[in-house]
Amino acid sequence: MRRPGLWLSLILALLLALVALWAAGPWLAMRGIEQALAQRDPARLERHVDFAALRVSLKAQLADRLVHAAGPQLQSSRLGGLALLAATGLVGASIDTMVTPLGISALLHGQGGWRKATGNTETADTHSPPARPQPFARIHWRYESANRFSASRQDGDGHITVFIFQRQQLRWRLVDIQLPPGWAAADVLG
């Protein structure tokens, strides 16, 4: 009689462990991304970020914002259309170059130097290491479905950036970053 109860307990414990692992997945992915950024480890970053999906999303967002920022007059002229096509191509090429493990690593190396130069270091000493990047500090989160998780962060100006994680088999990965409105148009055209 004890054996069926033991097996049932083991099955329930296993199911509970799987549910806990599933629920903790996005948090583990966010922690992995922060650690990879802090250690400037492109291989580790690639385990937690689906760069192909992220590039597609960012290209679409930036191209859409570029077209809207150009306005109908520029869009309707032939020369404006060609300029817009060239600008969209440049945006796409930039995304292809920068949204890779090595591109992010290069950005972080430059950002680390900038942080040290501006005094944004771990301690008050300007010779200490640069402050660690914390992209997921003060986030608001929610499960959108069993396979989708969003984490949003508001900056000092009130702009909200949303990070979308998706479950891919047993692992959660960052697949999209929804940029704040107005962010890209000003940067691309300015």
Q: What tokens does 46 get?
A: 């690639």
Indicate the pLDDT class of residue 131, thresholds 50, 70 and 90: low
Instruction: Fill in the amino acid letter for 87.
Output: A
Task: Give the lowest-confidence range in 44-53, 58-67, 116-125, 144-153.
Answer: 116-125
> What is the mean pLDDT of the segment spanning 50-54?
94
What the block records as the tokens of 86 is 């060239």
Sequence-ordered list of residues with C-beta below 8 angstroms from that of 164, at least 6 positions apart, any chain: 148, 149, 150, 174, 175, 176, 177, 178
Q: What angle do CA 58, 62, 66 make, to 5 degrees?
A: 170
pLDDT reported for residue 185: 39
The pLDDT of residue 129 is 66
Nearest in space to 136 (alpha carbons), one of 28, 22, 23, 31 = 31
Query: Rg (Cα) of the chain, in Å, rounded?
Result: 21
Per-residue pLDDT, 107: 65
Domain residue limits, the chain: 26-120+130-189
Percentage with pLDDT > 90 across the chain? 27
Residues 6+ apart with CB under 8 A from 181: 159
pLDDT at res. 143: 94
Given this model, what pLDDT does residue 78 score? 84
| Summary mean pLDDT of the chain | 80
pTM of the model: 0.75
Of the pLDDT bands very low, low, confident and very high (cuts 50, 70, 90), residue 37 is: confident
Cβ-proximal residues to 162 (8 Å cutoff; 6+ apart), any chain: 150, 151, 152, 176, 177, 178
Higher-pLDDT residue of 158 and 149 is 149
Percent of the chain topping pLDDT 70: 79
Q: How remote is the C-alpha of 185 from its chain's centroid?
A: 19
Mean pLDDT of 103-129: 61
E-strand ranges in the chain read 139-145, 148-154, 160-168, 171-178
> Which of the pair, 43 or 150, is modelled with greater confidence?
150
Q: What are phi and psi of 77, to 5 degrees?
A: -85, 150
